[in-house]
Amino acid sequence: MPLSTAARLAPATALIALLLAAGHAAAAPVAATIENGTTTTACAEEDNVSLTLRGDGIRQMRIEALQPDYLDKIGNDVTAPDFSGCNFDGGAHPTDPAHRFKKRTVVLLDNAEWRIVGMTLPTFWRPQSVPVTVGKRSDRGFHLLQVFRKENGKALEAIVLYPSDGYWRLKPLPDPRFGDGVYGSSFLLGPVEAAARPVVSIASIRIVPKPLAIHVRFTNGGSAVARVDEISRTRTALDVTLSKPTVNAQPFAVLRSMYVTPDNADVSEVRWQAAPQAAQQVLPLPEVKSLQATQVRFGRSLPSKHNTSAPDISFGGFDSSEAR
């Protein structure tokens, strides 16, 4: 007896359902493990906060710098350095090597939307000279790459990348009351290694201007693309894609910051969700040991007397798929 149409289609329908289910499972959110390695300090200019992110199979994430929730409630932005509790006075950290370089500043791109500047400092703690390409222009040996967003013809800095040690800093466009605004926490992105402090070793950097994307090749052969999705007065956001899935044995990011007291800190609390639909949880930084999160925000609820307007930094959107 000939099979009915429904019977003939049943195996194909079942296969399609299995493929859709597999695809749905592959796209399921991935949780990262956050470990707190913060140490005690009295120095407001020392990065004593280390919050390490690990996970297996992560290929994508979103990193944002967000205005602190209290920004509208403050009238004074304290941005001056505070060395009162430190054993150094604004020069190089006493434990750092001092490799010497010829100081220079190079404008690598300047158009209606972006200004990108490379800076070489007179001294730096690492000797690496990383090749940098911006559009069709190539150079090397910069210690800072600064990305400015043009607004009404004025260039406002929003991103800094340190090629020699792999540190990033982000901030939203500033509240007009507070001039250029201020950075606070920094972070590492990529295969984190232990040196005098955590580093990511970069082999080369290529910046594509339109749409703006920062391509970073690591010395271990892997790479990352950080696409600039938004720079506004609310946030600066990077959508990151890694060429290799992360492995739990090696951190894929580390947030570096400062904490002395709750009102003298660039990060004083951690807010996170264990799953996309889970309730947000909050803990003061000193109480955080280890947690699992699909979204985590390192920031402050209490206004700080140090870098008062500095942004919170958020990691989320962890995904195991290769492309969004």
Residue 16 counted as domain residue = no
pLDDT (0 to 100) of residue 1: 46
Given a contact cutoff of 8 angstroms between Cβ atoms, the answer to whether 82 and 45 are in contact is yes
More confident residue, 254 or 14: 254
Residue 155 counted as domain residue = yes
pLDDT (0 to 100) of residue 10: 52
Per-residue pLDDT at 114 exceeds 80:
yes
Per-residue pLDDT reduced to its tens digit, 19-68:
444 444 445 679 999 999 999 999 998 999 999 999 999 999 999 999 99
Question: How far from 104 is each of 115, 210, 221, CA to CA, in Å?
Answer: 17, 26, 29
Residue 12 counted as domain residue = no
Q: Residue 292: is it exposed, middle or buried by C-beta count within 10 angstroms (0-12/13-18/19+)? A: middle
Structural domains in the chain (count): 1
User: Across-strand partners of 185?
Assistant: none
pLDDT (0 to 100) of residue 226: 98
pLDDT (0 to 100) of residue 143: 98
pLDDT (0 to 100) of residue 34: 98
| Span of 16-25, 100-109, 212-221, 314-323 with lowest mean pLDDT | 16-25
Per-residue pLDDT at 228 exceeds 70:
yes
Given a contact cutoff of 8 angstroms between Cβ atoms, the answer to whether 212 and 139 are in contact is no
Dig out the tokens for 320 from the structure: 């195991």
- Long-range CB pairs of 217-225 (<8 Å, 24+ gap) are 218/190, 218/191, 220/191, 222/190, 222/191, 224/189, 224/190
Residue 197 counted as domain residue = yes
Per-residue pLDDT at 77 exceeds 60:
yes
Cα angle 187, 94, 128 (rounded to 5 degrees) comes to 55
The confidence band for 94, taking pLDDT boundaries of 50, 70 and 90, is low
Per-residue pLDDT reduced to its tens digit, 152-206:
889 999 999 999 999 999 999 998 888 888 999 999 999 999 888 899 999 999 9
Average pLDDT taken over every residue of the chain: 90
3-state secondary structure the chain: CCCCHHHHHHHHHHHHHHHHHHHHHHCCCCCEEEEECCCCCCCCCCCCEEEEEECCCCCEEEEEEECCCCHHHCCCCCCCCCCCCCCCCCCCCCCCCCEECCCEEEEEEECCCEEEEEEECCEECCCCCCEEEECCEEEECCCEEEEEEEECCEEEEEEEEECCCCEEEECCCCCHHHCCCCCCCEEEECCCEECCCEECCEEEEEEECCCCEEEEEECCCCEEEEEEEEECCCEEEEEEEECCCCCCCCCCEEEEECEEECCEECCCEEEEECCCCCCCEEEEHHHCCEEEECEEEEECCCCCCCCCCCCEEEEEEEECCCCC
Dig out the tokens for 16 from the structure: 């399609």
Mean pLDDT for 201-220 is 97
pLDDT (0 to 100) of residue 158: 98
**Where in the sequence is the domain holding 256, given as residue range(s)?**
30-86+97-319
Residue 43 counted as domain residue = yes
Residue 18 counted as domain residue = no
Residue 185 counted as domain residue = yes
Residue 301 counted as domain residue = yes
Q: Residue 206: is it exposed, middle or buried by C-beta count within 10 angstroms (0-12/13-18/19+)? A: middle
Per-residue pLDDT reduced to its tens digit, 128-165:
999 999 999 999 999 999 999 999 889 999 999 999 99
